Amino acid sequence: MRLRVPGLIALTLSLGCSSKPAPDAPPPAPGPTQVSTESTAPESPPDAPDAPTGELDGAHSSTQSPATEAEAAAYYAAAIAAAKKQEPKRVVARLDGREVVMYQWEAPRLIVSESCAPQGKLGSCKALDAVRDVATKTITVGPGNPSSYYCAPSGGELESATYDDGEDSLCRYSDGSYAATWSLVYVPKFGREQIEKK
């Protein structure tokens, strides 16, 4: 059975019956679906070169539960260890007429403000704490950009930013630090994958 909800990810359920929907069956009502932070969110932002192809209009769900604090800390440590082996890229985000210097590490797709990484060296800030702890949260994903739903549960406030090469959503934290919303999705996932490879 194929569930369709406009604006959400497609999910096909195997229930031991025909995969064809009933001809007169109405589509399910739109609305958010409860998922864990280890959801099946797209592998990359929709405008990224390696974005998955296919429908993005069905239900989005996951059966995995949130990570424990120890697991989240291990995922974060593995991801940060990989990031520290790279030279970050310096980018400038424009938010409501002001510029914020951000540093980006390709693997694990970590993007944080300079206040978290003075001169590109990772330090400490609320944004990095949120990236570490977000795997312990249960996230409700609705229509639109899945990563934007990770900001509020991680303790931040969503803001839109523009760069020379496009737009992105950032999450602002109480100390004034920022993390890209996609970092909240990918850093824990990357760290978990690094641990599973061992």
The count of structural domains within the chain is 1
Query: pLDDT (tens digit, 9 = 90+) per residue, 17-76?
Result: 333 444 343 334 334 434 443 433 333 444 333 332 222 334 444 324 699 999 999 999
Query: pLDDT (tens digit, 9 = 90+) per residue, 168-192?
Result: 999 999 999 999 999 999 999 999 9
Model confidence, pTM = 0.70
Query: pLDDT (tens digit, 9 = 90+) per residue, 66-103?
Result: 999 999 999 999 999 999 999 999 999 999 999 999 99
From 125, 102, 126, 123, select the one nearest 112 (Cα to Cα): 102
Residue-number span of the structural domain to which 149 is assigned: 2-197
What is the secondary structure of 56-92 as a DSSP string?
Answer: --B-----PPPPPHHHHHHHHHHHHHHHTTSPPEEEE
The amino acid at 178: Y
